[in-house]
């Protein structure tokens, strides 16, 4: 019986190590493989941003254009936005428990991390009003896309929200500050679909050069550099 238990344990350990090894190989190789390599910015189009805080990435688009006005879905007064300078709105997708209960890394619990990595929790959309970015940096990549590309991105973002009676479902959470709020998301978070993979997939739908697959913010931002 002990030998049988040992064999099962040993095979399980080998399988786990093999999985971790393959995952690490994918993490270090696939972000360097890019798609849509012939992409060039549109000379006169819609400016969008990919933003990073070093861990999470977001897609930022104009709050109002002739193709989409996001403000009825996300009224500025419910975000405490009282000026006209916050003309952009950013979207991030991720694990609901991680978003709501881990505003800082010091707040991270093992249970939250395990649920997120295994896809056992729900997902949420993080919505934030912000000012237009003028310059690129390590944490901000700027692109100018056509109306057709932007409409594809609109559909991608909208499909990531759970809806009820054609309205996005707001989560009862104050957000991290005055300018952000959380909404119910669709899909399942896992090691194979992180918040950064969601951002990367959104970029790929527009035809912008992006990573083949990139679960981490740093490698994603590197793949997006002009």
Tens digits of per-residue pLDDT, 129-153? 999 999 999 999 999 999 999 999 9
- Residue 18 falls inside a structural domain: no
- Residue 146 falls inside a structural domain: yes
pLDDT at site 110:
55
Sheet arrangement for strand 57-62: 140-145, 46-52, 57-62, 88-95, 123-130, 180-184
- Residue 6 falls inside a structural domain: no
pLDDT at site 33:
95
Residue 214: in which H helix or E strand, if any?
A: none
Answer yes or no: is pLDDT of 38 > 90.
Answer: no
Domain that holds residue 124: 29-224
Tokens of 31: 């972000």
pLDDT at site 104:
57
- Residue 9 falls inside a structural domain: no
pLDDT at site 106:
55
Q: What percent of the chain has pLDDT above 90?
A: 63
More confident call, 104 vs 37: 37
- Residue 80 falls inside a structural domain: yes
- Residue 8 falls inside a structural domain: no
Tokens of 177: 């500050």
Answer yes or no: is pLDDT of 108 > 60.
Answer: no
- Residue 186 falls inside a structural domain: yes
More confident call, 102 vs 183: 183
- Residue 151 falls inside a structural domain: yes
The predicted model gives 17-32 an average pLDDT of 88
Pairing of strands 140-145, 57-62: unpaired
- Count CA within 13 A, CB hemisphere, residue 64: 9
Domain count within the chain: 1
Helical ranges in 127-211 per DSSP H: 147-159, 195-206
Give the model confidence (pLDDT) of 42-69 as tens digits: 888 999 999 999 889 999 999 999 999 9
pLDDT at site 77:
85
Mean pLDDT for the chain?
Answer: 89
Q: Say whether pTM exceeds 0.85.
A: yes
pLDDT at site 137:
94
């Amino acid at each position: 019986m002990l030998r049988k238990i040992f064999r099962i344990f040993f095979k399980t350990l080998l399988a786990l190590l093999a999985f971790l090894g393959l995952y690490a190989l994918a993490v270090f190789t696939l972000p360097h493989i890019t798609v849509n390599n012939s992409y060039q910015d549109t000379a006169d189009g819609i400016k969008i941003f990919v933003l990073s805080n070093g861990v999470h990435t977001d897609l930022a688009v104009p709050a109002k254009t002739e193709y989409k006005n996001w403000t009825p879905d996300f009224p500025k007064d419910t975000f405490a936005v009282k000026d006209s300078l916050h003309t952009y709105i950013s979207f991030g997708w991720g694990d609901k428990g991680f978003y709501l209960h881990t505003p800082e890394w010091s707040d991270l619990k093992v249970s939250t991390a395990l649920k997120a990595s295994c896809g056992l929790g729900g997902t949420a959309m993080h919505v934030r009003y912000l000012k237009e970015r003028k310059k690129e940096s390590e944490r901000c990549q700027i692109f100018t896309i056509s109306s057709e590309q932007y409409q594809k991105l609109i559909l991608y973002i909208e499909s990531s929200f759970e809806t009820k009676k054609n309205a996005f479902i707001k989560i009862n959470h104050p957000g991290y500050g005055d300018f952000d709020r959380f909404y119910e998301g669709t899909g399942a978070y896992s090691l194979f679909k992180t918040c950064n993979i969601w951002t990367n997939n959104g970029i790929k739908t527009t035809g912008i050069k992006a990573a083949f697959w990139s679960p981490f913010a740093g490698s994603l931002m590197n793949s997006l550099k002009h």
